[in-house]
Amino acid sequence: MIATLLPMLLAAQAEAAPKESKLTIAGDAGSFWFPPEASNHAGGVDSLYFFIYWVSVVSFVIIVALMVFFIFRYRKTATRTRADKGSSHHNVLEIGWTIPPLLVSVVLFYVGTVGYTDMRTPPPDTYDIRVRAQKWAWEFEYPGGYKDTALHVPSKTPVRLVMSSQDVIHSLWIPAFRVKQDVVPGRYSEMWFEATQEGTFGLLCTEYCGTKHSDMLTEVVVQPQPEFENWLKNRIEETNDLPPEKAGELLVKARCVACHSSDGSAGIAPTMKGLWGKHRVFVSGATAQAEENYIRESILNPAAKVVQGYDPVMPTFQGQLKEDEIDNIIAYIKTLK
């Protein structure tokens, strides 16, 4: 069994391994246990965590020590063959094991509630970034309409993420910020934080959302306010005067590469290389040639014609891609000879 499974597993892994790993959960420094504390929430979360941790360590030591002591103290001997008669009541003991644990629970409850309320209540004037999750990519839209696959934020500024999902439940997690929030279809969820440390940190999906769930990872880039504004201004200018096929390439890289390759390599969807003008055969037995209307329909209504040999897992991009964006994608596909 193992002998047949192992080569298969290794082969699958080699195929799935990305060319270069994007995974930088921790960013720069951090402790042995934890990534760096890079947001306003991180300090509080960590202190509460370590408080619980040390309470557990102390309780563990006390309980195990008493247990070992009792095992020897009250063991069966030649003269003691029955259990001693115990006392039925002991005030000091009972107060001792009731009041201190109660106090610890009250502290945990209080600190936990205050911290949670803080994390759930954004300050009044946040910088808002729109987040869209879709199998299997993140999209961040900045004020002004520029979209990126990475999250850029100004440091020392309260930032609010307004998040939604196009398909299933995803969950946005930034370990270095100690924030995590589910992203649910059909509603907005929000999260806020203030980045306190400049640098690049990891951002990932922590709700299993299908085959390529583990590819839903990207970066958070924290820059000082002026640098951030400069970056955004440049990106907006650059993308405004891109030729159509370049703009299309950016869209495909952001939204389609999780499933479609553009270099001919196989995946869960047909590659886009050589697609233009190709003769397509569908599950229904019908055929068509890949031209503008076919590609447009494939993007807006993927279930209409399902390519033979593939599962109908492509989400619709109806309402998400504008007409000119679809034009740009088609222009890009034409270049992939």
Q: Point out which residues bind Cu ion (CB under 5 A).
A: 170, 205, 209, 216
**CA distances, 93 to each of 66, 96, 100 (Å):** 14, 5, 11
State which H helix or E strand residue 205 sits in: strand 199-205
Between 40 and 298, CB nearer to ligand HEC:
298
At residue 300, the 3 state secondary structure works out as helix
The answer to the question of residue 209 lying near ligand HEC (CB under 6 A) is: no
Candidates 133, 163, 250, 275; binder of ligand HEC (CB under 6 A) is 275
Cβ proximity to ligand HEC, 94 vs 297, nearer residue: 297
Q: Which of 161, 163, 250, 269 binds ligand HEC (CB under 6 A)?
A: 269
Quick one: which of 101, 237, 312, 318 contacts ligand HEC (CB under 6 A)? 312
78: three-class secondary structure by DSSP: coil
Partner from Cu ion, ligand HEC, none binding residue 216, C-beta < 5-8 Å depending on class: Cu ion
Contact 180, 193 (CB under 8 A): no
Minimum CB separation of residue 207 from ligand HEC in Å reads 16
Residue 85 DSSP label: P
170 binds ligand HEC (CB under 6 A): no
The closest of 270, 273, 271, 268 to 313, measured between CA atoms, is: 268
Size of the site for ligand HEC (CB under 6 A): 27
Closest CA to 156 of 234, 219, 228: 228
Burial class (CB in 10 A: 0-12, 13-18, 19+), 303: exposed
Nearer to ligand HEC among residue 86 and residue 145 (C-beta): 145
Q: Which residues bind ligand HEC (CB under 6 A)?
A: 135, 252, 255-256, 258-260, 268-270, 275, 280, 290, 295, 298-299, 302, 306-307, 310-315, 317, 329
